[in-house]
Structure 1
């Protein structure tokens, strides 16, 4: 087991985490920005107003992209499990 193999596996796992998190976080950030612009334009100073739209968007994203996210995770785990004999030997 070489250090390069470990770094490659770690890099792939880190990239997968960044990809999966960005799928959820970026739409939430965009909705939060739109709600903040709306609040600034209408001078509504309610702090809880942005919570519900972001929650709804996150739920919709998880419902829509959930199967793809699970597929990516299972593919990565299968690749790691299939590489175990190579890593050990």
Structure 2
């Protein structure tokens, strides 16, 4: 296995990780920001108030984009396992 192959696999793995985590993290970030703005506007200083909207938002994104996320990770895994014979030689 050449160093270029290792770097290519690492790059692909990081890219898939970003594609999988990106929608969930962006949803949690935007929900937290909106709740924080609401708290600042109403002067509610409850730290635990943002957890329920974040959980619901991330759950909704998982339900909506779950099939796409599963397809991305299974395609990557299938390609990775399919390329094992070329990696060994």
What interval of TM-score do these two structures reach, taking the shorter chain for normalisation? over 0.9
1:31-89 per-residue CA deviation (whole Å, 9 max, x = no partner) reads 10000001001101111111111110011011111111111000001111111111112
2-side partners of 1:80 and 1:16: how far apart? 12
- What secondary structure, in the 3-state scheme, does the structure 2 residue paired with 1:44 have? coil
Q: Name the counterpart of 2:11.
A: 11
TM-score with structure 2 setting the length: 0.96
Give runs of ≥4 in structure 1 deviating > 6 Å: none
Q: Name the counterpart of 1:46.
A: 46
Q: Name the counterpart of 2:88.
A: 88
C-alpha deviation, 1:18, in angstroms: 1.3
- What secondary structure, in the 3-state scheme, does the structure 2 residue paired with 1:70 have? helix
Alignment length (residue pairs): 89
Superposed CA RMSD: 0.7
In the alignment, structure 1 segments of 5+ residues that lack a partner are none
TM-score with structure 1 setting the length: 0.96
The structure that is helix-richer by fraction is 2
